[in-house]
Amino acid sequence: MGGSAWAYFTPYQQDVSVALAAAHERAFQEGDYFWLYDGRWGSPQRPRPSTVEELWQDEGVQHSFTHSVLDVFEVLGEGEEPEVCAARPLTPEETTRLFGTSKPTRVDFERAHDEVDSVIEERGHACYTALYDERRRPSEIAFWGVTGD
């Protein structure tokens, strides 16, 4: 199947781990993740799990992942090496190069859609950055990556 590129936006939180948890909750509740058993992939149909814990107990999910923000288990700090199943922050240089500003908006992010994936080192990795409103106050955190198998 290969990896899938994805992006999620969640209201700004000073604690990025809290923002990631909110993105997880929304993705899970909305069913915005790959489910092998939806009848399109040759596997028998099964209902989606009722909890994230049940989701990760499934062997198919453990093998193929969810192709979504649910595949990110931790946030890294500035300067930490990229890791599989973790999201790292953009450097200030990357932010300015990608968006043309140190305080990008959602519009800036969407305009740079094709370029944002260029900072993903390899499948299984993700990034995050704060996005700002028109007054340049933090308003959202964007998480994006390429995950799945």
b (16+ CB within 10 A) / e for 23-55: bbeebbeeebbbbbbeeeeeeeeeeebeebeeb
Map residue 5 onto helix, strand or coil: strand
- Check residues 113 and 104 and name the one with the higher pLDDT: 104
Q: What confidence tens digit (pLDDT) does each residue in 78-103 have?
A: 999 999 999 999 999 999 999 999 99
- Residue spans per domain, the chain: 4-147
Q: Name the band, by pLDDT with cuts 50, 70 and 90, for residue 121.
A: confident
Q: What is the SS3 string spanning 73-134?
A: CEECCCCCCCCCCEEEECCHHHHHHHHCCCCCCHHHHHHCHHHHHHHCCCCCEEEEEEEECC
- Check residues 149 and 76 and name the one with the higher pLDDT: 76
pTM confidence score: 0.93
- Is the pLDDT at 38 greater than 60? The verdict is yes
Percent of the chain with pLDDT over 90: 83
